[in-house]
Amino acid sequence: MPPKSRHTQTSPPSSSTPARPAPSSSSSSKASSSSALDAQDIVLSVWNKYLEKTPQRVKLLDSFMGFLAVVGVLQFVYCCLVGNFPFNAFLSGFSATVGQFVLTASLRIQTNPENKAEFESISTERAFADFVFGSLLLHFFCVNFIN
C-alpha cells in the first residue's frame, strides 16, 4: 500500500490564510482566543455535517458507542472514588465496555462505504457476523473473569 497522498499536501504554510494566524502558534492571548473561535466554527461545521450526512444506522451505532463511553467513564470514576477492591470485577466490567466500544467502532469502519476499497473481502453482513462473534467471545471472557 503506498503512503497516503496527504503527506504531500501539507505544504501550504499558515501565513497563506489571510485573516487569522495559525492555530498552532497560540503564544499570544489574542491568537488563542481567535483560534478558539476557529475551533468552535470547525466543531459546529463538523457537527452539522455529521447530522446531515450520516445514515440512521450509523447514528445508532454512534449512540451505542457514546453510551459505552459513558458507562466506561462512570465505572472508572466509581473505581477512583471507592477503590478497586475486587480488581477483577472492575477490570472485566471496564474492559467489557472498552472491548465492545472497539468492536462497534470496527463494525462502523467496516460498514462505512468510504472504506469499501480497504475491505473488499468483507461484506456488510460478514462484518456484522464478525461483530457478533467478537462480542460473544468478549462476553464469555468477561463473565468468566468477573467470577
Partner 1 sequence: MAGTEGDQFLKQATGRNTRGMLRVIILCLIAGAAVSSRLFSVIRFESIIHEFDPWFNFRATKYLVQNGFYSFWDWFDDRTWHPLGRVTGGTLYPGLMVTSGVIYHLLRFLALPVDIRNICVLLAPGFSGLTALATYLLTSEMVTSPSAGLLAAAFMGITPGYISRSVAGSYDNEAIAIFLLVFTFFLWIKAVKNGSVFWGALTALFYGYMVSAWGGYVFITNLLPLHAFVLICMGRYSPRLYVSYTSWYALGTLASMQIPFVGFLPIRSSEHMSALGVFGLLQVVGFVEFVRTQLPSKQFQTLLRALVLIIFLVSFGGLVILTLSGVIAPWTGRFYSLWDTGYAKIHIPIIASVSEHQPTAWPAFFFDLSMMIWLFPAGVYLCFRSLTDEQVFIVIYSVLASYFAGVMVRLMLTLTPIVCVASAIAFSQILDTYLDAEMPKLEMKENGTSEPAKVAATAILPDGLRSTRSPLIGVYSYASKLTVVGASAVYLMLFVLHCTWVTSNAYSSPSVVLASRLPDGSQHIIDDYREAYYWLRQNTPDNAKIMSWWDYGYQIGGMADRPTLVDNNTWNNTHIATVGKAMSSREEVSYPIMRQHEVDYVLVVFGGLLGYSGDDINKFLWMVRIAEGIWPDEVKERDFFTARGEYRVDDEATLTMKNSLMYKMSYYNYNALFPAGQAQDRVRGARLPAEGPQLSTIEEAFTSENWIIRIYKVKDLDNFGRDHQSAGAFDKGHKKKRASKRKGARVLRVE
Q: Which residues bind partner 1 (CB under 8 A)?
A: 1, 3-4, 6-7, 9-10, 12, 14, 17, 22-24, 42, 45-46, 49-50, 87-88, 91-92, 95, 98-99, 102-103, 105-107, 109-110, 112, 114-115, 118-119, 121-122, 126-127, 129-131, 133-134, 137-138, 141-142, 144-145
Nearer to partner 1 among residue 22 and residue 71 (C-beta): 22
Q: Minimum distance from CB of 104 to partner 1 (Å)?
A: 10
Min CB(108)–partner 1 separation in Å? 9
Rounded to a whole number of angstroms, the minimum distance from the CB of residue 47 to partner 1 is 10
Query: Which residue number, 43 or 60, has a Cβ lying nearer to partner 1?
Result: 43
Q: Are 107 and 101 in contact (CB under 8 A)?
A: no
Residues whose CB falls within 8 Å of the CB of residue 130, separated by 6 or more in sequence, listed in order: 107, 110, 122
Within 10 angstroms of residue 118's Cβ, the number of other Cβ atoms is 12
**Cα separation of 7 and 94, whole Å?**
37
Do 146 and 108 meet the contact criterion of CB atoms below 8 Å apart? no
DSSP state letter for 43: H
CB of 37 to partner 1, least distance (A): 14
Residue 28 vs 115, nearer CB to partner 1 = 115
Interatomic CA distance for residues 142 and 123, integer angstroms: 28
